[in-house]
């Protein structure tokens, strides 16, 4: 499993670290480590159980070893617990020195052709606007919108992925695919893709973990620790990524130099 490679790559940067603080909203969650590094992850709500007080593990976070909490991304009992593990990984990734690969004429560091077919997994509006108009065909998949409905009527049913993803030249997939465990199967479907970009706040920015995969670029975010109060407050008030984007440090990194 790819997530096991990520955990291995992250271990040196989490060793000896503790969880200092955490916040869980209905759209996002965040974790702060004892060195001030902050990680943010999406909250995948669609498959969470109903009821009250069903997440007692959230009360146990503070003061725990970061390495133990990061393991939740693999061992967690639901998508929320796994998301908390992913946020810890995001915070740990900030201890690396990563060179950015973004360029004005190359969105997310890739060359886009007008003959390309683009597949996007997880409806990410800025990506649709930035790249969607540059390609010949565009396919968008989003589990949450497919299950619960949404304002975007162009989302294609999830069951079409096995048929359409193998035809894509470029695939952009959300880091949440690491949380819900769909990443390994999705990569098997993207057999013809020239570029595969993992994007979003939930993207674990450890390029070494992806060397033996077909993923070519990681496009995630680090967070300005001096704005921790604003980040946590917005998340606690059910804000989405747009409401905290001013505090993000966008990172686009090649998997292979």
pLDDT at residue 149 greater than cutoff 50: no
Domains of the chain: 2-98+222-249 (3.30.390.100), 107-219 (3.40.50.11590)
- 30 alpha carbon, distance to own chain's centre: 13
Give pTM, 2 decimals: 0.91
Sign, Cα dihedral of 4, 7, 12, 18: negative
Query: How does pLDDT run across 106-140, given as a tens digit for each residue?
Result: 778 888 999 999 999 988 777 888 888 899 999 99
Query: How does pLDDT run across 222-245, given as a tens digit for each residue?
Result: 999 999 999 999 999 999 999 999
Query: How does pLDDT run across 159-176, given as a tens digit for each residue?
Result: 999 999 999 999 999 999
Strands, sheet with 137-141, edge to edge from the N-terminal-most edge strand: 137-141, 117-121, 170-174, 195-199, 217-223, 248-254
pLDDT at residue 152 greater than cutoff 50: no
pLDDT confidence of residue 150: 46
Residue 253: beta bridge partners? 218
Residue 6 CA to residue 54 CA, distance in Å, equals 28
pLDDT confidence of residue 148: 41
Is 224 exposed, middle or buried, given 0-12, 13-18 or 19+ CB atoms closer than 10 A?
middle
Query: How does pLDDT run across 176-201, given as a tens digit for each residue?
Result: 999 999 999 999 999 999 999 999 99
Question: Got the DSSP string for 95-118?
Answer: TS------BTTBGGG----TT-EE
């Amino acid at each position: 499993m790819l997530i096991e490679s990520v955990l291995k790559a992250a271990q040196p940067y989490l060793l000896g670290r503790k969880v200092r603080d955490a916040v869980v909203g209905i759209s996002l969650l965040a974790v702060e480590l004892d060195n001030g590094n902050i990680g943010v992850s999406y909250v995948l709500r669609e498959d969470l159980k109903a009821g009250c007080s069903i997440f007692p593990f959230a009360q146990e976070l503070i003061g725990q070893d970061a390495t133990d909490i990061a393991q939740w991304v693999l061992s967690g009992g639901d998508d929320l617990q796994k998301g908390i593990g992913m946020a810890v990984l995001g915070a740990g990734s900030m201890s690396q020195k990563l060179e950015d690969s973004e360029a004005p004429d190359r969105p997310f560091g890739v060359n886009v052709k007008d003959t390309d077919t683009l597949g996007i997994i997880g409806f990410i509006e800025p990506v649709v606007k930035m790249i969607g108009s540059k390609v010949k065909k565009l396919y968008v998949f989003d589990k949450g919108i497919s299950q619960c409905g949404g304002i975007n009527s162009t989302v294609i049913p999830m069951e079409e992925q096995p048929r359409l993803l193998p035809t894509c030249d470029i695939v952009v997939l959300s880091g949440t695919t690491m949380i819900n465990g769909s990443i390994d199967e999705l990569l098997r479907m993207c057999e013809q893709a020239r570029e595969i970009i993992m994007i979003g706040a939930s993207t674990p920015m450890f390029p070494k973990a992806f060397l033996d995969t077909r993923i070519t670029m990681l496009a995630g975010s680090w967070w300005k620790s001096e704005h921790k109060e604003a980040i946590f407050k917005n998340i606690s008030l059910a804000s989405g990524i747009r409401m905290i984007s001013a505090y993000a440090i966008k990172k686009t990194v090649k998997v292979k130099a």
